[in-house]
Amino acid sequence: MKITYSSDTINSFGGINFADKIIRDASIYDTIDQTLGIRGVKAQYSYSDLFRSYLMLVLCGGECAEDITEHLRSELNQLTGFQACSADTLLRLQKELATEKETMVSAAGVTHEFNINTKLNDLMVQLLVQTGQLSPAVDSYVFDYDNQVIPTGKYDAKRSYKHVDGYFPGIASIGNYPEYIENRNGNSSVKFKQDETLTRAYAGLNLAGIRVKHSRMDCGSFDRSVVPVVEANSEFFYIRAQRCANLFSLVSAIPRWETVEIGFKEYELATLEYAPFGQAKVYRYVVSRERKADLQGDLFTGDAFAYRAIMTNNWEMTNLEVVLFYNDRGESERLFDEMNNDFLWKKMPFSFLQENTVFLILMAICRNLFHLLTEFISQRLSFIKPTFRLKKFIFRFMVVPAKWIMRGRQRILKLFSAKKYHLLLE
């Protein structure tokens, strides 16, 4: 085997030039600076440089800010009008965007730590509207809310119900795009102040003119204070009901069940009317039951079925439609998987909750912009699909040897590939 060397500067991630141009043409960086403000006349880097650096970092397979300094500086420096900043600068910019942590004590004496960053959350929704990923003209959006334990050994992380130290952010999404993130420490329960969290999440959407038709949540949102907030901000809602003796006494008396097949399993469905929380207002409960494999009797009903119930104010859908529509909220679980594994949520850089909140929202915005890229590029290049995960997108699109050359007083990007990247410029 013989080896020869060349001193030519050839970059491995030539696709970064096209990705950055698409984002620049959408005026994303301008909006970021207009919303977050100018850092000062002596500041060398702007807040848009922070978002630009992290977006391009993950598009080149980087996993932390230090990867720019150690591995990717030359790749980012090939971008037009951009000079990559150091890891220390990226971390300092995030600290500047952090807001104060709020500490509250519950009636049970538990200390809860929350962090609310309204400006960054409003920016996230504003960019979704600007890119057309959300539109005020659409009146059928589905709002999903859930909390996720993110295990971490950070200095102020506390023990969660999953018996690991970490944070427990609440994440609201529309059409599988994260639109509101509020960080809380791991020891906080799902229901504590959730009505206030949801009020802020809906307020950001209302400010941008986004209307919610359906809201879906798990049993962590089955609470007396939460239901009025959800009902006031969406036309229909679907919340997994918690088990209680009064409800299941009615379930035991249901005379007829409808047999259906869901996911190759047989279920029985029925509807009943019930007023939760000891109040007068009646809601529809769609109850499903599945025969247990071990035939062990249920504590409440005494029979060998596993019961689940969905509380809703939608009286128009059939029982099966309600169950299938609620089950679609499993998309939020895939969103968490994408954020943790593709967009670095499981590798938070800071020691404190309020600074890591900035990182969570920053990476959620990068994730939304990534989907803008895949949607745009897939319409022009046949070898890219809008459903690609980040790793496949990097291998299929980003990894292309490239070199900037001068010809006829023009700066030209030379690609060492037969793929038709030029179609993106037409």
Using a 10 angstrom Cβ sphere, with 0-12 exposed, 13-18 middle and 19 or more buried, the burial of residue 275 is exposed
pLDDT > 90 fraction of the chain, expressed in percent and rounded: 74
Length of the chain measured in residues? 426
- Domain spans, the chain: 15-28+45-96+382-425, 102-347
CA 195 distance to own-chain centroid: 20
pLDDT at residue 205 is higher than 70: yes
Chain segment 125-160, per-residue pLDDT in tens:
999 999 999 999 999 999 999 999 999 999 999 999
Q: Following CA atoms 423, 130, 234, 198 in sequence, which dihedral angle do they give, to the nearest 10 degrees? A: 110
Dist. CA 214–CA 301, nearest whole Å = 31
Cα separation values, 63 from 57, 82, 346, Å? 8, 20, 10
With a cut of 80, say whether residue 304 has pLDDT above it. Answer: no
Does residue 248 have a pLDDT over 90?
no
pLDDT given at position 302: 65
Q: Write the DSSP string, 308-324.
A: EEEEES--SS-HHHHHH
Contacts of 103 (CB under 8 A, 6+ apart): 111, 112, 113, 114
The fourth-level CATH superfamily of domain 102-347 is Transposase Inhibitor Protein From Tn5; Chain A, domain 1 (3.90.350.10)
The vertex-294 CA angle with 290 and 297, nearest 5°, equals 70
The token pair at 87 is 């890891």
Q: pTM higher than 0.75 for the full model?
A: yes
